[in-house]
Amino acid sequence: MAALGRLLTDADAPMRLRVAGVIVLLYAQPLTRIVQLTIDDVLHHGETTLLRLREPASPVPAPVTALLLAYIADRDNMNTATNQASRWLFPGRRAGRPARPDHLSALLSKIGIPAAAARGAAVRQQLLELPAPVVADAIGYHDKTTSRLLRENGGTWSRYAVGDHTRSPASWAPDPLADG
């Protein structure tokens, strides 16, 4: 996706917009959810970085990790006396409040990322790569919504069996004669 590549590399775009845009494009999250994230939702341990959008937290790819951690180290709106201790990932101008989603959306549009359209494209791309129930669980959508979007896009996961695939059926037993 060209927009994602541009957000990862365009040093002229404000870091806050680059990070917000990447979260929209990678995780198909609405701006109303993104502005509610705190720096505590970014879990970084050694080489692993996770973003807690829901449980379990989602892995963050290496190029995005670098951008996200650099942004956290130097967030906007932190120099005023009212925001110095803010935990919001996207602190707003008002003390104790996150950025407004409508304001963030307008700013993203100015750099060529229409948030609603980008979010829809991200969901549709994920549905081409993964079964609808998996996408629904990962991004917090209802599985009926992702199934509908999949059908609308002519997806091919219609025969995917929903459920716990980590357990073997009760009557199944491994073949002791099979070469492992």
pLDDT digits (tens, 9 = 90+) for 83-92: 667 899 998 8
Mean pLDDT of the chain: 79
What is the 3-state composition of the chain as percent helix, strand, coil, each rounded to the nearest 5? Answer: 45, 10, 45
| CATH fold label, 2-77+87-114 | hpI Integrase; Chain A (1.10.443)
Residue 147 main-chain phi, psi, to 5 deg? -65, -40
The widest CA-to-CA distance across the chain, in whole angstroms, is 72
Q: What pLDDT, in 10s, does the model give residues 100-123?
A: 999 999 999 999 888 777 777 777
Stretch 3-25: mean pLDDT, rounded? Answer: 92
Alpha-carbon gap, residue 171 to 174, rounded angstroms: 10
Question: How many residues are given for the chain?
Answer: 180
- The burial class, CB within 10 Å (0-12 / 13-18 / 19+), for 40 is exposed
User: pTM of the full predicted structure?
Assistant: 0.71
The predicted-structure confidence for 49-104, as pLDDT tens digits, reads as follows: 999 988 888 899 999 999 999 999 988 656 655 666 789 999 888 878 899 999 99
Is residue 34 within 8 Å of 23, Cβ to Cβ? yes
Band (pLDDT 50/70/90 cuts) for residue 161 is low
Residue 44 buriedness (CB in 10 A; 0-12 / 13-18 / 19+): middle
